[in-house]
Structure 1
């Protein structure tokens, strides 16, 4: 496709022009358990064209008026809806109600983490999430405990989804080329994706722990007013990046039980 839409720096736009890569991203969707797909940031539709070759209903959402006009002019399909909207602000229930849908796209790097956090809020409806990120962010999402890149994003995503880092994309595949490599990943929701602890408390524990990642949990979780007895537990002598996701779930349960016994 010709470069008829001007990439806008303030929107973090880098248009993928390598059709081989676009087809590979489209093929990351398994289409297992859903027919609805939401593409975020379609630009000029290099990925859209390959998604429409599949048996799915596609909503392409872009905040850029110029991109929306281009898509509407160049794509005609009963299975495609083009929306001019900001994914981070858009009420997804107006499209999907309680229906399952997957998310994919070549995500604007400046908001990619926020896109993942919003997807997590809708995890009951999102069995699969695939797409392209800045490589560093994709690696962070897929990182294991003990890694320097393991953090809030890693733990919260992996609590609900199995993560796969699929392949790396070089800057030359884009116009204009970004200054960093990109990474494509796939998240598939776990069969058991509800936690055996309070999910709001789990989110709070993870975020609080990593805000001071160099400190031990005994020090970084002081705001929870833990009992002296609980603080003697060996887990509180560790730093957050040492804990696996199941250990964070166990930690949350210990804190919940401590609160009940302290206030009881």
Structure 2
């Protein structure tokens, strides 16, 4: 059996009912295309996924011991089990135009995983992931909530996000010190935002850098044009703006910066 490694942030799910529930949740949002499981570990999700997606399933793990275990226990996946780092290689493990991602994500890199997913938003159609409860709530949080932040806005610009259910620590081996949460992301219809997307990211990130300040103060490093500084929306704080309001603000900055 594979031994959980602390440096990889591994906590292996041992509750079959929860594993089955996660895969069922994935099936509810699955879009035609390949399935990429990140960090399959001992295959607790894999054994349910292979029944539903025998030809589409691909696995990637950074733990060589897990890879050897998976190769031995899932011979039908030969050639589709990869020893690699998703944070460095993204979705290059599959050449399909549409990719669906699932996984019990290591807590220490879960946010980085979602930033990497954003880099491939044109191909990643849905995601179901289990991650630290606080992070899961943050990603799914609406505006006006203290959990709402940079990654909330950036992901919600391109995905519809739902918090599905919570998972207690005792169902893992070893048990983590925190609760877990399962969320789903489904690609929305925004192929592109109606603004400069690079500037949009800068506005969102800078706005939340000092989230207690009004946007007029938080965005000072961006050297906003005088016409933008006068806008009423800058009297608000970043956590109160919806994705569309961030897009509109970005468009105003574009307009007056020409």
TM-score range, shorter chain: over 0.9
Taking only aligned residues, the RMSD between alpha carbons, in angstroms, comes to 1.4
TM-score by length of 2: 0.95
The structure-2 alpha-carbon separation of the partners of 1:220 and 1:97, relative to structure 1 and needing over 3 Å to count, comes to same
Alignment of 1:1-264 (within 5 A): 4-29=1-26, 30=28, 32-55=30-53, 56-78=55-77, 81-93=80-92, 95-97=93-95, 99-260=97-258
Q: How far 1:211 moved relative to its partner?
A: 0.7
Alignment gaps of 5+ in structure 2: none
Partners of 2:58 and 2:77 within 8 A in 1: no
CA deviation map 1:71-92 (0-9, x unaligned): 0011121587111111101153
Structure 1, gaps ≥5 residues long: none
Q: SS at 1:172's partner residue?
A: helix
Q: Distance in 2 between matches of 1:113 and 1:78?
A: 28
CA contact (8 A) 2:127 2:186 kept: yes
Contact 1:60 1:80 (C-alpha < 8 Å) held by counterparts: no
In the alignment of these two chains, the number of paired residues is 256
Q: Decide whether aligned partners of structure 1 residues 116 and 7 sit closer, same or farther in structure 2, where only a CA change above 3 A counts.
A: same
Does structure 2 conserve the Cα–Cα contact (< 8 Å) formed by 1:38 and 1:59? yes
Instruction: Measure the CA separation in 1 of the matches of 2:204 and 2:155.
Output: 11
* TM-score, normalised by the number of residues in structure 1: 0.93
Moved >4 Å (runs of 4+): none
